[in-house]
Chains A and B, each alone.
Chain A
Amino acid sequence: MRRKGKPKPTSLVLSNSMKQIRCKKIIEQVKKMCMEANFELGDDVLQAFNAAQADEESPIGKEIMGILIENARIAQDESIPMCQDTGFAVFFVELGDDVRIVDGNLIEAINEGVRQGYAEGYLRKSICHPFTRKNTGDNTPAIVHIEPVPGDQLKIIFAPKGGGSENMSRVTMLRPSDGKKGIKEFVVNRVRESGANPCPPTIVGVGIGGTFEKAALLAKKALLRPLSSVHPDAELAAFEKEILQAINDSGIGPQGLGGRTTSLAVHIELFPCHIASLPVAVNINCHAHRHKEVIL
């Protein structure tokens, strides 16, 4: 019941401090990201390609790195997808506590952006029913991970994920006694057994800890870190380096045709786990390591 002459302080405060973001704006931005991510390879990846081309010992591997650099240039110049597998549309969203989405629903807006972006960009629609394999026709539904964060910003990261490298990814529940040695063995073996399948040189995301599903999400999130970055935790930075070295000693090389550059980076994300468990997930990304980010 409203009392005469008295304002409603809580609702007033809320409406003043909440930032409103219209779905129309989200749709526009998502559409743009879908296209740009598939046409333009990030500078961090191109730099890694250049370094690999310079360092690669295998002549065929060197040649392949050159071809991938040329491929990225053509894709950007001609607005053609760098790879025909334009991916499952995966989004990581950081939703500020002081943001209010208006004129619609956030996930529906993202799906609409995907629909429009994949149509206008002439991107491949790769999503189908698991049993009938019937294509949904518009590359939806997208996979959307939403994390509430403090502040009044909406950050949307788009990371389209190809099927070839995703198929090579695994989760395992190690015994605590397996320790770091067991983790390294699992990751290195996964990459070795994958051979040429995930389009090396790959980027290897490793999720350690949490629960079964948390480990997988950590591994995927680990892929988002820029390739040139060093892990802020010194022990993990050293562990990443150690695993990368072991992977690159495998000899798989670019496209699996032999060489030194099997992976461009190993990225680890860590989370506490149950006293009984040591979950480990490996999410492999192909060299078409696509991601775009927008802040609204």
Chain B
Amino acid sequence: MEEIILTPPVTDSDVGKLKSGDRVLITGDIFTGRDAAHKRLVDLLDEGNDLPFDIKGQIIYFVGPTPARPGQPIGSAGPTTSYRMDAYSPRLIAQGLKGMIGKGARSSEVLEAMQRFKCVYFAAIGGAGALISRCIKRSEIIAYEDLGPEAIRRLRVERFPVFVVNDIYGNDLYKAGLKQYARL
């Protein structure tokens, strides 16, 4: 199978090539954010302020890692459940966010925003935080240090394995999996 390597900043053309079910290896810089950080980002937009990083073409990974041991860039770092970010994601997608990494299904509002503004949703393997941490070579907090595990970090990743769940054409890997394997 041909390897698909994706490096942010991601363009509309990159996004257009990705199909639900593709395995993708992400190499480059991505940003972390989960519940509390998402709320703050959207609050900033509501107040008419700039985000703490340029979100255009970027990928947000829904993760709250464990603290790094001395000498390590990061601790365990698997995905958290994505639906909790559903209330916020469409706003960020409209600002130019091109990819999200998490686990679990998204709301119809998020899926609509993804198709409209060209953004893909990837699943990383939940509960494989030890293994995923090996793909993370560097980590620095860029905003909201007070949030501890929920702070926004810039991660340098190498060959971070993810699956395309929702592409911009309306395909859904979760639904396809059910269709193929359900015995109902």
- Give A residues with C-beta under 8 Å from B: 57-58, 60, 64, 67-68, 70-72, 74-75, 78, 80-86, 122-126, 133, 135, 137, 163-164, 167, 195-199, 249-253, 255-260, 286-288
Contacts and interface: CB of A to CB of B under 8 A. Distances in A.
Interface stretch (B75-83, B90-98, B111-119, B152-160): B75-83
Contacts, number: 165
B176 interface: yes
B129 A197 contact: no
A124 B67 contact: yes
Nearest to A76: B130
Interface of B: 35-36, 63-69, 75-78, 80-81, 83, 103-105, 123, 125-131, 133-134, 147-149, 163, 173-174, 176-184
B17 to A, nearest CB: 20
A213 B163 CA distance: 39
B177 A251 contact: yes
Contacts of B133: 80
A197 B65 CA distance: 18
A83 B181 contact: no
Given A126-B149, A286-B127, A258 B178 contact: yes
A288 B78 CA distance: 12
B55 to A, nearest CB: 22
Contact of B66 (A123, A163, A164): A123
Nearest to B63: A84
A185 to B, nearest CB: 13
A80 B136 CA distance: 14
B182 A135 contact: no
Given A57-B181, A195-B104, A288-B127, A257 B68 contact: no
Given A78-B130, A122-B75, A251 B183 contact: yes
A221 to B, nearest CB: 22
Contacts of B126: 83, 164, 196, 199, 255, 286
A7 B64 CA distance: 62
A250 B130 contact: no
A240 to B, nearest CB: 19
14 contacts: A68-B127, A71-B129, A75-B76, A80-B69, A81-B129, A84-B64, A84-B65, A135-B148, A167-B81, A195-B105, A197-B81, A251-B180, A256-B174, A286-B127
A125 B66 CA distance: 8
Given A124-B64, A196-B105, 13 more contacts: A67-B131, A68-B127, A80-B69, A83-B126, A84-B78, A86-B76, A124-B65, A135-B148, A164-B126, A197-B104, A252-B177, A258-B178, A287-B127
Contacts of B80: 84-85, 163-164
